[in-house]
Chains A and B, each alone.
Chain A
């Protein structure tokens, strides 16, 4: 039997939305779906490495790099971010409720074989290089997304 498919576009770079995307992705993997998450625009920041990576960039690209969150641990909330005090608060509450953190959800998704695809066009726009993103990603564009999404009954844009 051909496996069902789920595709998620993670456009947003907000912590809460990224958590929702990864919970759904992990759930779909537990439903035995082939799951793909496409990271585009601000969603790409979820995949950035924590540390500074030395890569050749123009000044505008560098500025984007400084202004955007460096990795899953640095994302802000879409609501109640309160200049950065919101995220530690929600992380505390999540721990209390035994919910997985975003880095743990990403790890679990990889373990379950969720395919992580970085959009190369928006990587160029935001000045993000492959070396700055975590390992094990697929690099592709809209055609790869549509190829997967056409067969998927669950398609989400977050």
Chain B
């Protein structure tokens, strides 16, 4: 899977991971993939909710030792 944009939001508190993701996705082309890292405990629910309200899609989610990794395709 070729990642086009990597967003590191580790250590950042609400609402920064969301704001960083939004900024990054605005600059991407439709179909491109963003990989996002967050350590915010609400990240799983937050990003699911955000993606549901947009044309974007979560392709992959991973949780490894407190780091949430999302791969999101821009729609």
Contact = CB atoms under 8 A, between A and B. Distances in A.
Nearest to A23: B15
Contacts of A112: 19
B15 A26 contact: yes
B13 A30 contact: no
Contacts, number: 33
Nearest to A28: B15
Contact of B19 (A30, A97, A98, A99): A30
Contacts of B19: 26-27, 29-30, 108, 112
Q: Which of B12, B15, B18 has the most CB of A within 10 A?
A: B15
Contacts of B14: 23, 27, 99
Interface residues of A, number: 13
Interface string A24-38: 001101111000000
B54 interface: yes
A65 to B, nearest CB: 32
B33 interface: no
Interface residues of B, number: 13
Contacts of B18: 27, 30
Nearest to B40: A98
B22 to A, nearest CB: 4
B31 interface: no
A72 B5 CA distance: 35
Nearest to B18: A30
A108 B19 CA distance: 9
B72 to A, nearest CB: 13
A137 interface: no
A32 B22 contact: yes
Interface string A5-27: 00000000000000000010011
Interface in A22-77: 23, 26-27, 29-32
Interface string B6-34: 00000111111011011000000000000
Interface of B: 11-16, 18-19, 21-22, 50, 53-54
